[in-house]
């Protein structure tokens, strides 16, 4: 994959639930929005956490990138592709669409334990 792909929120949730390689969802929204509510199990990917993320993740694991509405995630997804991640998706509609579909959310800080 030389470029990221697009994925709907429902397909993203299914991929997280069913993927043999344990898909990872990352949320790139601001810290306040992330702490208020984010997809269940999401890692808060920021400029400060990118090194931790790249050290903890197998570059072959699918990565699902989420922002507010599915626009900013596209740039972040392409960045991850350029860093060598093999399977990266931008979640269409972002957290707004995730929330509208009533998919699982949680609040608080990231508890990334891969």
Active-site residue set: 67
Closest CA to 58 of 91, 80, 34: 80
Residue 105's SS3 state is strand
C-alpha span between 85 and 78 (Å, rounded): 9
- Sorted by sequence, the CB contacts under 8 Å of residue 16 that are 6+ apart come out as 23, 25, 41, 64
């Amino acid at each position: 994959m030389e470029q990221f792909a697009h994925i709907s929120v429902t397909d993203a949730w299914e991929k997280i639930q069913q993927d043999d390689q344990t898909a990872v969802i990352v949320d790139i929204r601001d810290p306040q929005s992330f702490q208020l509510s984010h997809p269940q199990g999401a890692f808060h990917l920021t400029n400060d956490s990118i090194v931790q993320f790249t050290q903890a993740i197998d570059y072959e694991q699918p990565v699902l990138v989420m922002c507010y509405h599915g626009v900013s995630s596209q740039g972040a997804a392409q960045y991850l592709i350029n860093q060598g991640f093999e399977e990266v998706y931008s979640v269409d509609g972002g957290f707004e669409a995730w929330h509208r579909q009533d998919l699982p959310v949680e609040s608080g800080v990231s508890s990334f334990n891969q």
